[in-house]
Amino acid sequence: MTPVLIVLNAGSSSLKFQVYDVLEGTEPCMAFKGLFEGLGNSAHFIVKDAQGKLLDEMTWSSGDRQGHEEALMHLVSWLRKHQEGRKLVAIGHRVVHGGEAYSSPILVDEAVIQTLEKLVPLAPLHQPHNLEPIRIVRRRLPGLPQIASFDTAFHQSQSEIARMFALPRDMRERGVKRYGFHGLSYDYISSVLKDYDPPLAEGRVIVAHLGNGASLCALKHGKSVATTMGFSALEGLPMGTRCGAVDPGVVFFMLREMRLSPEEAERVLYTKSGLLGVSGLSNDMRVLRANAETNADAKRAIELFVYRITREIGSLIAALGGIDGLVFTAGIGENDVATRAEVIGRLAWAGLTLDTTANRTGGPCISTGAGPTAWVIPTNEELVIAQQARNVLGATQARIAS
């Protein structure tokens, strides 16, 4: 039997999964990947092999009320039915917030779940959905080991000063500080950088994770020294629907003058702002690019996005004391040629020069000249979760055996 583990990334109405073979002595190897969409309404299940060939799909009618629990059980029974010779040994979960308690992946038990539940107010859009499948597995598949991997953990290498807000001390003691997110993505980029440029892996690198969520991370010797996201996943760059940095005074204005409730204000900042809010059109960069010539608001949204990225890169160059390399990753970073060109164009002062042809063909190196280099490197957060889950599982089994 080949042991396999499932990596889950749960959203409000979606459940993304990858299934990894975890044979001893080898790297986890992705066997299948897929997705449930439209959970709670008319759900759709799709599963492909590692090469992207469709293996199976299914749609439920809206009356079936196929939720996360039914989806998870469908996946487990699909594996049993279609994958003889493979045995499910654990589930690895992406959990956005590990707070101060967890600086590394952890085997989940009831106490861990309770600690993670306390962090819901810090990531209200993500944490509840991340925790739901963990509870479902505990109930429906008791005894199956679950490992949580955290988006915040990679940033625990930052200095105390880099993680502080200039707020009263008792607030810091209550955990109000900069945690940073997208750590699984930065962990992956940091781990593969040596395969692209060995000296750069030890240098001063800024990674731009530009997807529906977006942030930047400054790496020195492969470790996070600063990042644009902070206490919550709202801080820093404008994102698909999130505002990024705003003056906290804006929130008081929303509450007092606009008379929004805290929940309404939160909804505006998380789901109605960013590229969507500024353009009034879409959170999807492809749609904005397609309309930028004729729609002034779409053009403005892109311009603000690029302007904020380059301003924040300037800030991280200061935090690093210089820059040796810039890496673009995630949906926009990996695919949007124009965003990469515009960002690098605004960084000529820092010595970056775009290689237009390489940028058009996806690099991986998209710079020329003797200055800092620029790269396009696809991220792989799921592989990091699989590696972490396998390591935690291995360590646990070794502890039980000894």
Q: Nearest residue by C-beta to ligand AMP? A: 331
Binder among 83, 157, 212, 310 for ligand AMP (CB under 6 A): 212
Q: How far is the CB of 22 from ligand AMP (least distance, A)?
A: 25
Residue found under tokens 């929004």: 260
- What are the DSSP E strand ranges found in 103-203? 106-107, 146-150
Query: Among the residues of 40-182, which ranges form H helices?
Result: 68-82, 110-117, 127-140, 169-173
Q: Which listed range, 6-14, 196-204, 283-291, 305-313, lies at the site for ligand AMP (CB under 6 A)?
A: 283-291
Q: For residue 180, state whether it binds ligand AMP (rule: CB under 6 A).
A: no
Kindly tell me which residue out of 41, 115, 191, 335 binds ligand AMP, with binding defined by CB under 6 A.
335
> CA quadruple 212, 215, 216, 220: dihedral positive or negative?
negative
What's the distance, Cα to Cα, between the start and end of the chain in Å?
A: 24
Cα(146)–Cα(315) distance, integer angstroms: 38
CA angle, corner 254, sides to 253 and 260, nearest 5?
A: 140
Nearest CA among 254, 255, 207 for reference residue 227: 207
- CB 356 within 8 Å of CB 338: no
Minimum Å distance from CB 358 to ligand AMP? Answer: 17
- If phi > 0 it is left, if psi is from -120 to 50 it is alpha, else beta; for residue 359 that is alpha
The yes-or-no answer on residue 284 being catalytic is no
Identity of the residue, 162 or 337, whose beta carbon is nearer to ligand AMP in the bound complex? 337
Residue 310, class by beta-carbon neighbours within 10 Å (0-12 exposed, 13-18 middle, 19+ buried)? Answer: middle
Stretch that binds ligand AMP, among 36-44, 76-84, 165-173, 329-337 (CB under 6 A): 329-337
Under the binding rule (CB under 6 A), the answer on residue 211 touching ligand AMP is: yes
User: Judged by CB, which is closer to ligand AMP: 112, or 332?
Assistant: 332
Q: Which of 56, 109, 151, 355 is catalytic?
A: 151
Q: Please check whether residue 180 is in contact with residue 213, taking contact to mean a CB–CB distance below 8 angstroms.
A: no
Considering only residues 332, 352, 374, 389, which one is a binding residue for ligand AMP as defined by CB under 6 A?
Answer: 332
Interface with ligand AMP, residue 360, by CB under 6 A? no
CB 376 to ligand AMP: min, Å = 12
For the bound state, the minimum distance from the C-beta of residue 326 to ligand AMP, rounded and expressed in Å, comes to 18
Among residues 278 and 332, whose Cβ is nearest to ligand AMP?
332
Our finding on whether 384 is near ligand AMP (CB under 6 A) is no
The three-class DSSP label of residue 200 is helix
Q: Residue 115, interface with ligand AMP (CB under 6 A)?
A: no
Q: Which stretch binds ligand AMP (CB under 6 A): 59-67, 162-170, 280-288, 306-314?
A: 280-288
The Cα 379–Cα 324 span in angstroms is 20
Asked if 89 and 4 count as a contact pair (C-beta separation under 8 A), the reply is yes
Which one, 80 or 360, has the nearer CB to ligand AMP? 360
Nearer to ligand AMP, 123 or 285 (CB): 285
Rounded Cα–Cα distance for residues 111 and 116 (Å) = 9
How far is it, in rounded angstroms, from Cα 39 to Cα 65?
Answer: 7
Least separation in angstroms between CB 284 and ligand AMP: 4
Q: Per CB under 6 A, which region of 89-97, 109-117, 278-286, 307-315 contacts ligand AMP?
A: 278-286
Interface pick for ligand AMP out of 236, 325, 331, 363 (rule CB under 6 A): 331
Task: Answer yes or no: are the C-beta atoms of 156 and 217 closer than 8 Å.
Answer: no
Q: Does 240 participate in binding ligand AMP (rule CB under 6 A)?
A: yes
Of 14 and 212, CB closest to ligand AMP? 212
Instruction: Give contact residues for ligand AMP (rule: CB under 6 A).
Output: 211-212, 240, 283-286, 330-332, 335-336
| Active-site residue list | 151
